Amino acid sequence: MKIDYATEADYEYIIERDRHILESLVLSKILNKEIYILRNQENQNIGWMRYGYFWDNTPFMNMIWIDEQYRNKGIGKEVVHFWEDLMKQKGLKLVMTSTLANEEAQHFYRKLGYQDSGCLLLEKEPLEIILTKNI
């Protein structure tokens, strides 16, 4: 598996799968190098990870997507560690993410050392768990 910065050539792949971001923001995140594209041995896209900044200073992992046939193979763990290492190289000490309380992802992040740090409850929505990790 190979992790690269997403390019404009990856735009269609991302917007066809990512329903949690405005299409108009995808290109700016690509240009700002805030989306990583995951590729298999044949150099085909198999997923992506995108992030932003909470309070404009704390890296916040917004989304990891891995195509179904590549899940449960350690790819998610690999991309999280890759991202954490890059944030550490930038001199950052804390990273964040969140997940719905009814999703399995919360257990994935806890196994990677993330700790529950709070939650967000919006009307008619499941509880969103905020997780942080010192890196």
pLDDT of residue 103: 80
Residue 132 has pLDDT above 80, yes or no: yes
Instruction: Provide the whole-model pTM.
Output: 0.91
Report the C-alpha dihedral over residues 100, 75, 62, 103, rounded to 10 degrees: -10
Chain segment 42-93, per-residue pLDDT in tens = 999 999 999 999 999 999 999 999 999 999 999 999 999 999 999 999 999 9
| pLDDT interval class at 98 (50, 70, 90) | very high
- Alpha-helix residue ranges (DSSP H) falling in the chain: 11-17, 23-31, 75-89, 105-111
